[in-house]
Chain A
Amino acid sequence: MSVLAALVRRDLLLALRQGTGAGTALGFFLTVMVLLPLGIGPDQALLQRIAPGALWIALLLSVLLSSDRIFQADYEDGSLELMTMGPAALEIVVTMKGLAHWLATGLPLAIAAPLLGFLLNLDPGQIVPLVVAMGLGSVALSLLASLGAAVTVGIRRGGLLVSLIILPLYVPVVIFGVAASAGAGAIDIATPSLLILAAIALVALVTVPFAAAAALRAYMH
């Protein structure tokens, strides 16, 4: 257990102290929210209608943008290879790194989303469902991003390739995430959409580590 905690702690510290983690993703999130009304016009009713979808798309892009940090640096300086020789299986290492990415990126963005939602005239009744849905959905987003990062870890400038491979896998998360965010209000947030979103996150949690670890092994042998 202490190995796992150490892995998460290390990645979180790196994300927080390097300045390329949560801060950058949050800044990107904010930028999209500022650009969007400038692009489509300041109509309050329209902004309110598209606010949950816009926040979800910004969340998705922020997660994707920060995904190369999950394995790239560790692969290049060889610490990933050391981790494969450690006491924990590579699948566990991958899971922990995915969760650390979620803690450093997905969760802060989910918490910040309602604040940025005010810029888009977000309906106050949607705040709780949005935060819950984003908190859950970003688990799946981070894990899938770690799969994309693993698959492209040895490719220089693999950023575009990550989006091409991972965006189709994000389709279900976005659909059910947005549906859950439009929930019936603070009292009844356990909508079918939210439950399916949770199911997607759980399935990702048990399947992604194996695929991602297999990809990392292919690069390291």
Chain B
Amino acid sequence: MKIEKYANPARFLAVQKVVQPWLTAASVVLIAAGLWLGLAVAPPDYQQGETVRIMFIHVPAAWTALMVYTMMAASSIVAIVFRHPLADLAAKAAAPFGAVFAFLALATGSLWGKPMWGTWWVWDARLTSTFVLFLLYLGYIAVWQAIEEPTRAAAIARIVAIVGFINVPIIKFSVEWWNSLHQPASVFRMGKPTIDPSILWPLLVMGVAYSVLFAALEFSALRNEVLARRIRQMEIAAAQGS
């Protein structure tokens, strides 16, 4: 029922108009709070020193990249099952943000890796699977750009998103298998259960902040997509002289 209710692009635009300022404000406040907690309040790591603060940018970016891809696959499924007119556009609008979050995770990971591991890049299982996720994003974006006809592009992009999503866990599993074969003693040491609350809280705040930031960006990008489609329809109507 809900889905049908918001299927109307005009209603979405009305909701977006109300929600957008709140989302934007919330993301600014949360990111400021998360950065303050992470960069000023959280103690430096006893082993890694101040460089551990990169984690507050890095780890939530990787979480968000995965979350965005999940959201894209979910809206692709919604597009197939319910023929929701906004679902394809929502996935299309989300893809560049997901790619940026994945890139942010890779770039900050690389910057963190240099002082910690002594190298910019390690073929660690997590790095590799994040890199593959980044490639999946690029492939999805490329589909939208390569196919000119919007409904056809949407149909193909759905398939690419869903097939990619099915493969994310397989890729993750296989990369871990591969890494354990080639690299028995991994340099990657960050025990999840041993993480201290003083570090965990800023991390969670940043995680929420990134999610809200994505929601704010997604809403405004989706608005742009709706308007762009409307412009296209008007142009077609004008060209047909009706």
Contact = CB atoms under 8 A, between A and B. Distances in A.
Interface string A186-221: 000000000000001000000100010011001100
B120 to A, nearest CB: 21
Nearest to A172: B174
B82 interface: no
B170 A172 contact: yes
A218 B155 contact: yes
Interface stretch (A60-68, A87-95, A97-105, A146-154): A146-154
Nearest to B155: A218
A165 interface: yes
A211 B159 contact: yes
Interface of B: 132, 135-136, 138-139, 142-143, 146-147, 152, 155-156, 159-160, 162-164, 166-167, 170-171, 173-175, 177-178, 181
B178 A179 contact: yes
B147 A154 contact: yes
Nearest to B181: A179
Contacts of B170: 172, 200
B136 to A, nearest CB: 5
B142 to A, nearest CB: 5
Contact of B146 (A158, A171, A179, A214): A158
Nearest to B168: A168
Contacts of B135: 164, 167-168
A154 B152 contact: yes
A211 B77 CA distance: 13
Nearest to B178: A175
A50 interface: no
Contacts of A215: 155-156, 159
A184 interface: no
Interface residues on A, range: 20 to 34
A29 interface: no
A53 to B, nearest CB: 11
B117 to A, nearest CB: 22
Contacts of B163: 147, 169, 211
A82 B135 CA distance: 35
A219 B146 CA distance: 13
Contact of A165 (B147, B152, B160): B160
A161 interface: yes
A164 B139 contact: yes
Given A154-B152, A155-B146, A164-B138, A172 B159 contact: no
A56 interface: no
Q: What's the dominant secondary structure at chain A's contact region?
A: helix
A157 to B, nearest CB: 9
Contact of B174 (A151, A167, A175, A211): A175
Nearest to B134: A168
A176 interface: yes
B167 A168 contact: yes
Contacts of A179: 177-178, 181
A214 B159 contact: yes
A51 to B, nearest CB: 16
Nearest to B170: A172
A124 B32 CA distance: 62
7 contacts: A161-B146, A167-B135, A172-B173, A215-B155, A215-B159, A218-B159, A219-B152
A151 B132 contact: no
Given A175-B178, A179-B177, A218-B152, A151 B143 contact: yes
Contacts of B142: 161, 164-165
Interface string A131-169: 000000000000000010001101100100100110111
Contacts of A169: 163-164, 167
Given A151-B143, A219-B156, 5 more contacts: A165-B142, A168-B136, A171-B132, A171-B174, A172-B171
A165 B170 CA distance: 16
A151 B181 contact: no
B171 A168 contact: yes
B175 A168 contact: no
A195 to B, nearest CB: 13
A165 B136 CA distance: 7
A158 B143 CA distance: 10
Contacts of A155: 146-147
Nearest to B80: A214
